[in-house]
Structure 1
Amino acid sequence: MAKDKKTMDFENPELYINRELSWLQFNERVLSEAEDETNPLFERLKFLSISASNLDEFFMVRVASLIDMINAGYKKLDIAGMTATEQLEAVLGTVHDFVDTQYRIYNEKLIPLLKENGLLICSDEDLTDKEKNYVDRYFDEYVYPVLTPMAVDSSRPFPLIRNKTLNIGSLLKKKEGKDDVDFATVQVPDVLPRILEIPGKGDVRKVMLLEKVIERNIKKLYLNYDIITSAAYRVGRNADLSIDEDEAEDLLKEIEKQIKRRQWGQAIRLEVPAGIDKKLLKLIAKELGVEANEIYNIEGPLDLTYLMKMYKLDGFDHLKEHSYIDPQPVPEFEGSDNIFEVIRRGDILMHHPYQTFENVVRFVEQAAVDSDVLAIKQTLYRVSGNSPIIAALAKAADNGKQVTVLVELKARFDEENNIVWAKMLEKAGCHVIYGLVGLKTHCKITLVVRREEDGIKRYVHLGTGNYNDSTAKQYTDVGLFTCAPAFGEDATAVFNMLSGYSEPLGWNKLSLAPLWLKDRILDLIKREEQHALAGEPARIVAKMNAICHKEVIAALYRASSAGVKVDLIVRGICCLRAGVPGVSENITVRSIVGNFLEHSRMFYFENGGSPEFYCSSADWMPRNLERRVEILFPVEDDKLRKKMWHILETELRDTEKAHVMNEKGIYVKMQTPGSDAEKINSQKVFGDEARVASKKRGADSRVFIPETNPKI
C-alpha cells in the first residue's frame, strides 16, 4: 500500500509523545483507581497514596533533570520536538491540575466515605474536651521531647530543610519588647507515627495527624512569644545523584558522599496549605528559592503518602481487597527437596507474585550448603532490607565456595542499602564487583556451578525482576530456571565480561545490552515487517514497563505500515502514538493498573508461523538499551511458551484494569462501572489459576495452562 511522504516521515515529532507527559498520564491511571467506586475503600486510599509517592520521585528525578538541562543551557529537542523549557512548563501545568484532582478525590470522595465507615480524621473541632486532654498529654510526654524548634535571626540563618520532610513554620512576636516579627520552624519528627489514634468507645474511631497535634500545642515551643500565624510546609528537592565515575578514585566512597548531599539538593517544589498567611509563604519561598509555579497550595493535609499507614490500620479488613491470593507453590518443585534435581527434569517458568519467589531464594540457599556446588555468581540491583539471599551468599563464601556478586551501587534510591550489602558480602569473603564504569548493571541472573557424576553442570536463573523477596510479592515478574548447556555457557560469559575484560565473540542464547540487544530487537521487528510484506503471518505482542526509544518506535511504525499487527502492553511511559492512519493503525497500546505492579518484560514474535518468545530485564528505552547491562533470553520449551502466550493473551483481554490508548494519545478505561460486558481482571485470573495449579499433582501437571492458542 502506497503511503504519502508526510505520513511516512518517522522523524516527524508529531508522531511521538513527550516522555514526561506520558509518565504523568500513567500516574493519572493510578489516581483513577482511587476514584473507581468498584474498588474497596481502603484500596482507593492505597492508590491515592501511591500516586503521591510516585509524584515525589518524579519531581526528585525527572523534574530535577529538566531544571538541570535548563540551567546548563541544553538546547537539544526531545523525541516530541520540545525544548527542556517547554517540557517543564507543560509538566508543571499538568501537575498542578493533577494535585487538584488528588485532593478533590480525597476531600469529596474518600473522607466522607471513611466517616460513613467509622473512621474520622480529626481537627480540633472534632474533639471532645476529654480527647483534647489526651492529645495534649501525648504531645507533652512523647512529642515535645523530640522537637527542635529553630529560630531565624541575624545569628541563626534559615536552617537546611531536608527533602520531603514535613515542617511547621511560624511568625512570632515577642510578648514584651519590639514589634519585630520573627520566624521559627520545627520539623514534624518522622521517628514518631504520623497517625495518632485517640481512645474512645463510640461508633467512630478518631485519628489525628501528628502535625495537627503539634500545631495545637505550638505555643509550648515559643513561651515568650505570641504566635501570629503557623502553617505546615513541605519541600521537594533535586535528589538525582551526579557522579563523575571516571574521576572518582573510589566509587563506593564517592557514592556515599553524594548520598549525604541528596537531602540538600536544589528546592524544586514547595507544598503549603491553601490558607497559608501570605507573609509567611513569601518568607519561606524566598529562603528556599522556589518560583511561583513551584508552589502548590494544598486543600488538605500535606503528603498523602500517609494514607498507606491508614491502609494498615487494624479493624478495616472488610474495606480491603481479598480476592488476590497469597503466592502459591510452584507445582514443579512440590514434593522434592532437591531443587537441582527438579531443574534437571526440564526448564521451569515461574510467574510471580502468583507463584512464590521462595524457590529462587531456596535455589541460592541450597547452593550455599551443597557440598557439590563449586561457585555461585549473581547480580544484585535491589534487594530487601533483611535479604535471605544476601545471607545465603555470605554463608556460601563461609563454606568455602567461590562467590562472585555484582552489587549495583548506582541503583537509584537504593545506593545506601546496596553499599551496606556490598561491605557485608566483602567481609564474608565474597568477591564483590561494584558495577561497570558508565553503565548500570540491571540484568537479573544467577549462575550456580555444580560438580556432578557426569561432570560440571551449570544451573541458571534469569528473571525480569529484582532479587528482592519483598517486592516479589507486589510486582508481576517471570523467572526461568534452566540447566541447558547453551544457557550455562552464556551465563559464564556474562560474568566473565562483568568481572574482567572478556568480551565473547558470540552468544548461544542471550542478547546483551549495551552492545547487542538493541540491534537484536530491531532485527526481530524488521523480520516481522518482511514476513508481512511477503504475505506471511506477522504479529508482535510486547509487554514492558516503558517504551520511548525512537529507533524502536520507528521500527514498529514501519512494521505497522507493512501490515504487522502490534499489540503493546505498556504499564508506564509510552512515547508511541497508536492508531495514526498510515503509520500506526495496526498498533494497539494498553496499560494495566491493578493490585500488583506490572513489571515483567515479555515478547512474542509470530515469525511467519514459527513463533518465538523472549523475556528480558530491559524496557525499550535509551537508558536500557544503550546505557545499561541488560539481558534478553528466549523461552524455548513448548509448555512454557504456551504459558507465556496465555499470560499475554489474557492481559490483552483484560476489561477491568486495562486502559487503552486512543488515536489522540489519551488512555480510556476498557470497561465502565455497571457495564454488562464480560469482565476480565487478568491479575485475578492468574491468581485463581496459580491456586488450581498448586493443587495438581502428577507428571502431566507440571504446568497448568488453559488451552488458548493450539498452534503454539
Structure 2
Amino acid sequence: MKQEVIFLNKIHIGKDVPSRYVNRELSWMEFNKRVLEEAQDVQNPLLERIKFLSIVSSNLDEFMSVRVAGITEQVKAGVTRKDFTGYTPQGLLKRIMKRASGMVTLQSKAGRDLHRQLAKEGIHFTRYDDMSVNQQKTLDAYFHDIVFPVLTPMAVDQSRPFPLVHSLGLYLSVVLQREDEVAYEADEEPYFAIVQVPSILPRFVQLPSRPNSKKLEYILLEDLIKIHIQTLFSGYIPLAVHHFRLTRNADITLNEEDAEDLLEEIEKELRKRRWGIPVRLEVEKGMHPYALNLLKDEFEITDNVFEIDGALDLTYLMRFSLSIPGKDGLRFPKIDPVYPEEFAESEDLFNVLRQRDLLVYHPYESFKAVDDFLTEAAYDPQVLAIKMTLYRVSGNSTLVQALARAAESGKQVTVVVELKARFDEERNIAWARQLEKAGCHVVYGLVGLKTHAKITLVLRQEQDQLRRYVHVGTGNYNDSTARLYTDVGLFTSHPLIGEDASALFNDITGYSAPHNFQVFGVAPSSLKDKFFQLIAREKENALQGKPAYIIGQMNSLSNQEMIDLLYEASQAGVKIDLLVRGVCCLCPGVPGLSENIHVYSIVDRFLEHSRTFYFENAGDPEVFLASADWMTRNLTRRVELMCPVFDKQIRDSIINILQLKLSDNVKARQLLSNGTYARVTNDKPPLRSQFAAADTRLWKS
C-alpha cells in the first residue's frame, strides 16, 4: 500500500519560514561569512587565518563585480519583478549592502586582530617613525630608486579631466594646497590629484633586520608612498592623503550569434571591463570630505560606499602569508600528495587501465597522474588522437605542453578551450593561440554555451582494434588548484564511456543533433532530465517501502525545479543528505516539506569542489561524478557532463569519501531552515574530514 504524501502546492509554511527558498545572493553571503569565521577561529594556525581573510576579500570582490553589478543594472533599468525567492532587485540590493557593510566591519576588525597576533609572533608592520635610522635609509633608497620612477601623479582640474580609475586597483587621493597661498577659505576648492599604487611592485616591503633581532618587519607599499608623497608634488602642501578603491561591473556580455571571430570579440569585451559601470567604492576611514564627495560625484555612487578602518584590498595577505620564511608552526601540517600506486607499479599506464579503472582523489593523490596520462599519450606511437576540454589551466601547464608535443608529432589533437571562463579569459586566449601554433585543432565551444565538462579522450590502435581511454574529472585540468581543491578524477577504458566520450566531442566540434548518450548525462540536452529521473526513482522506491537514499555533493544548489523535486522526494520519505559548500537555496528541516533533508557545508583548508552523487536504487547503489552543480546555468546554459562509476571498488571508495564528510563534526556547518548555519556538534569523537582523508585507509576500498 502506497504511503499518502502531501505535495508542495498543499503545504502551509509557518510564519517563521517566510519562503520555501533561500535567496541565492544572501546564501552566498552566508558562505563568505563561514570563510570569515575560519579567519577568526583561533584553533586555526595564524598564517592560515590570514589566508582565509584574503579569500574573504577576493570572494567579495568577485561578488560585487559580477552579482551585485547585475542587480544594480536591474535597479537602474527599473526592474521590479520578484525572483522565485520573493525579492525585488531593489529590496535585495538593500539587504545585500546592509549585510556587506557588516561583513566589511568584521573583516577589518579581524585584520587588526591578526596584525596584533602577528606582532606577538615577531612579524610586524612597522610605522616609519618607529624604524631604525638604517631601516629608514634603506626604505628611502628603495622608494627613490624603484617606486618613484613608476609613479604617475594625476591632477584633476579644469584642463585635466578625471583620469580612468581601474577596477580593483588601489589609489591614493591627495588634497593639496599651494605653498605660496594662505590657507584656503571654507568655500574655496583645494587642489586634488590621485596616484595609483603600482600593482607591478610587491604590495609589502620587508625592512632590513635590526641588530640582534629576529623580528620580521614590513611596510605596505601605499604607506611608503604616503610617507614620500611630498616628492610627487613640489610647490604644494599635501593636506590629506587617503586610500581608495573602485569596483566596476566585470561581467562580459557577448553577442555570440553575430560575432565573426569569438576570440576577437572576447578580447574586445575584456578591454571594455576597464570602463565598466562603478558598483562599489571603498575608502580609508577619515577620508577628507572634499576628496570623498569628489569621488562619489565622479563615479556616481551614493549608497555603495564602504569606509574601512585599516588596509584596503586584503587579497595581498595570501601572498604575504606564503612569503614568511620558516614559521611552520603557524601553518597547517603539510600534506604531500601520494602518487597512485597502480600507476607507480607500471611503466605502461594504458596496460593498467585495460585491467581496471582508477580513481584519483585530489589533493591527497597527485595530479601528476593526469600529467603522466597525457604525456604518455603524446609520446606513444600507437596513440592516434587526443581530445580534451580546457576550462581553467595553470600558468605553466604540463598538459598544454603534452598536447602541443602530440600535435607536432602528427597526432590528431583537438582541444576545446573555453574562452569565457570568467577572469581567466586572457590566459585561455594565450593558451588557445599557443596550441593552434603547435598544430592542434582548437575549438571555442558552442554558441551561447560555456563548455564546463572536464574530459579527456585518448584513441589508441591496439592490434586489430581501436581502444578508447578516458579521464573524467570534477575539477579543472589545473595542477595548481589540484593542490588546493578537493576533486575526484576517473581513469577508465570502459567501452560505453569511451563511445559516449567520442559522441560528446563530435557534438561539440561538429554539426550534430543532440546525441542519445548510453551512459552519460550531458547538459544542456539530457543532464537535468537524468537527475530528475534518478530523484523520481528514489521517491517511487520510498513510496513502495524500498530503501531510498540520496547523497549529493556539489558547490551550489539554486535551481528551483531541482529543489522542488527534492522536496517531493523528502515528503515521500527519501532520506537526503546534501554537502553543499556554497550557495544553497533549499530550506531543509521544514515540517511537512523537507524534514528528511539535511544540508551541510564544509569550509576548511581545501576548497570543497567535488561533484559526486549517490542514489540508493532500492539496495543496488549507483554513483556518479560530474562537472555540474545543481544550478540553472549548469543544467541549461553550459556543456556539462555526468559519468557513472561502474567499478564496484571505486564506487565504494566514493561512498566512503561521502560518508567521511558527512561524519565531520569539526569543520562542518549545518544549514538551518531559516537560511543560517550552525556548527555540527555531537557527542562523537572529533572528526575533521579533510585531515582524516589524508589517511587513504579511511576511504580507499
> TM tier, shorter chain?
over 0.9
Cα deviation digits, residues 433-457 of structure 1 (max 9, x gap): 1111010010011111100014110
- By how many angstroms is 1:151 displaced? 0.7
In the other structure, the counterpart of 1:258 is 269
Are positions 1:195 and 2:204 aligned together? yes
Using the TM superposition, give the Cα deviation of residue 204 of structure 1 relative to its aligned residue in structure 2, in angstroms: 2.7
- Residues in 1 aligned to 2:46 and 2:7: alpha-carbon distance in whole angstroms: 52
Distance, in Å, in 1 between the alignment partners of 2:469 and 2:516 is 20
Q: Are positions 1:53 and 2:62 aligned together? A: no
1:221-271 CA-to-partner distances (Å, cap 9, x unmatched) read 001111111111111111001111112121110100111111221111111
Which of residues 66, 70, 84 is equivalent to 2:71? 66
Name which of 390, 406, 425 aligns with 1:415.
425
Distance 1:537 1:612 in 2: 13
Q: Deviations over 1:277-299 (max 9, x none)?
A: 111111112112211x2111101
Provide the secondary structure at the position in 2 that maps to 1:591.
Answer: strand
Paired residue type of 1:163: S
Deviation at 1:203, TM superposition (A): 4.1
Match of 1:29 among 34, 46, 50: 34
Partner of 2:84: 79
Q: Deviations over 1:570-598 (max 9, x none)?
A: 00000001110010110000000111100
Answer whether contact 1:379 1:443 (CA < 8 A) is retained.
Answer: yes
Q: Is the 8 A contact 1:560 1:587 kept in 2?
A: yes
Could you tell me which runs of 5 or more consecutive residues in structure 2 were left unpaired when the two chains were aligned.
none
Q: Which amino acid aligns with 2:142?
A: Y
Q: 1:656 aligns with which of 650, 666, 682?
A: 666
The whole-number CA distance in structure 1 between the counterparts of 2:227 and 2:435 is 48
SS of 2:694's equivalent? helix
Counterpart residue identity of residue 688, structure 2? N
* Shift in Å, 1:137: 2.0
Pick from 131, 135, 138 the counterpart of residue 139 of structure 2: 135
Partner of 1:39: 44
Letter of the 1:54 partner, please give it. N
Q: Shift in Å at residue 205 of structure 1?
A: 2.1
How many residues get paired?
688
Shift of 1:128: 3.3
Alignment of 1:289-300 (within 5 A): 289-291=300-302, 293-300=303-310
Which residue of 341, 344, 359 corresponds with 1:349?
Answer: 359
The SS at the match of 1:168 is: strand
Contact kept? 1:382, 1:411, Cα under 8 Å: yes
Q: Distance in 1 between matches of 2:684 and 2:620?
A: 34
Structure 1: state its 5+ residue gaps: 694-702, 706-712
SS in 2 for 1:15: coil
Structure 2 CA distance for aligned equivalents of residues 505 and 197 of structure 1: 59
1:59 positional shift: 0.7
Query: Of 542, 546, 557, which aligns to 1:536?
Result: 546
Code of the aligned partner of 1:529: K
**C-alpha separation between the residues in 1 aligned to 2:502 and 2:8?**
48
Taking the TM superposition and a 5 Å limit, the aligned residue runs for 1:215-614 are 215-291=226-302, 293-503=303-513, 505-614=515-624
Cα distance in 1, alignment partners of residues 543 and 137 from structure 2: 79
Equivalent of 2:216 in 205, 225, 231: 205
Name the CA distance, whole Å, in 2 between partners of 1:136 and 1:217. 8
Query: 1:105-147: CA deviations, max 9, x gaps?
Result: 122x312211111011122343234433332222111111110
2:157 matched to 1:147? no
TM-score of the superposed pair, with normalisation by structure 2: 0.96
In structure 1, the residue matched to 2:686 is 679
CA contact (8 A) 2:7 2:571 kept: no
Change (3 A) 1:346 1:4: closer
Instruction: Give CA deviations for 1:382-431 in whole Å, capped at 9, x if unaligned.
Output: 11111111111111111001111110111111111111111111111111
The alpha carbon displacement at 1:539 in A equals 0.5
Taking the aligned partners of 1:288 and 1:389, their CA distance within structure 2 comes to: 43
CA offsets, 1:71-114, max 9 Å, x none?
2333432221111111111111110000011111122x312211
SS of residue paired to 1:304: coil
Call closer, same or farther: CA 1:454–1:704 in 2, change over 3 Å: farther
Asked if the contact 2:554/2:612 (under 8 Å) is kept, the reply is yes
| 1:499-528 superposed Cα distances (whole Å, 9 cap, x missing partner) | 112235521110100010001111111111
Say whether the 8 Å CA contact 1:377–1:403 is kept in structure 2. yes
Q: Which moved more, 1:359-368 or 1:319-328?
A: 319-328
Which of residues 189, 193, 198 in structure 2 aligns to 1:184?
193
> C-alpha distance in 2, partners of 1:332/1:430?
31
Question: Is the CA contact 1:174–1:225 (under 8 Å) kept in the aligned structure 2?
Answer: yes
The code of the aligned residue for 1:568 comes to: L
Q: What is the 5 A alignment of 1:108-123?
A: 109-123=113-127
Q: Retained in 2: the 8 A contact 1:13–1:80?
A: no
Deviates more, 1:478-487 or 1:195-204: 195-204
1:345–1:320 distance in 2 versus 1, CA, 3 Å: farther
Matching residue's letter, 1:503 = A
The residue type equivalent to 2:496 in the other structure is A
Q: How far apart are residue 309 of structure 1 and its match? A: 2.1
**Letter of the aligned partner of 1:8 in structure 2?**
I
1-structure distance, mates of 2:334, 2:203: 29
> Could you tell me which of 66, 83, 97 is aligned with 1:92?
97
1:69 Cα shift?
1.8
Identity %: 48
Q: Secondary structure of the residue that 1:323 maps to in structure 2? A: coil
Is the Cα–Cα contact under 8 Å of residues 611 and 626 in structure 2 kept in the other structure? Answer: yes
| Partners of 2:5 and 2:571 within 8 A in 1 | no
SS in 1 for 2:446: coil
Match of 1:18 in 2: 23
- Matched residue, 1:8: 11
CA distance in 2, matches of 1:111, 1:316: 18
Q: Which range is displaced more, 131-140 or 376-385?
A: 131-140
Whether the 8 Å contact between 1:7 and 1:582 is mirrored in structure 2 is: no
SS at 2:323's partner residue? coil
Q: Distance in 2 between matches of 1:248 and 1:141?
A: 47
CA deviation profile, 1:147-178 (whole Å, cap 9, x unmatched): 01111111110000101111111111122258
Q: Secondary structure at the match of 1:312?
A: helix
Contact 2:167 2:248 in 1 (8 A): yes
Q: Does the CA contact (< 8 Å) of 2:27 and 2:675 recur in 1?
A: no
Residue of structure 1 aligned with 2:631, choices 613, 616, 621: 621
Contact 2:614–2:623 under 8 Å retained in 1: yes
In 1: Cα distance, 2:336 partner to 2:685 partner: 26
Instruction: Provide the C-alpha distance between the structure 2 equivalents of 1:205 and 1:417, rounded to a whole number of angstroms.
Output: 35
**Cα contact 1:60–1:240 (8 A) shared by 2:** yes
**Structure 2: distance between partners of 1:4 and 1:508:** 33
Normalising by the residue count of structure 1, what TM-score does the alignment of the two structures yield? 0.94
Partners of 1:87 and 1:621 in 2: CA distance = 19
In structure 2, distance between residues paired with 1:569 and 1:371: 44
For residue 60 of structure 1, what is the amino acid of its counterpart?
A: S
Q: What's the CA shift for 1:324?
A: 4.3
Q: Separation in 2 of the partners of 1:605 and 1:704? A: 20
Moved more, 505-514 or 57-66: 505-514
SS in 1 for 2:693: helix
Partner of 2:19: helix, strand, or coil? Answer: helix
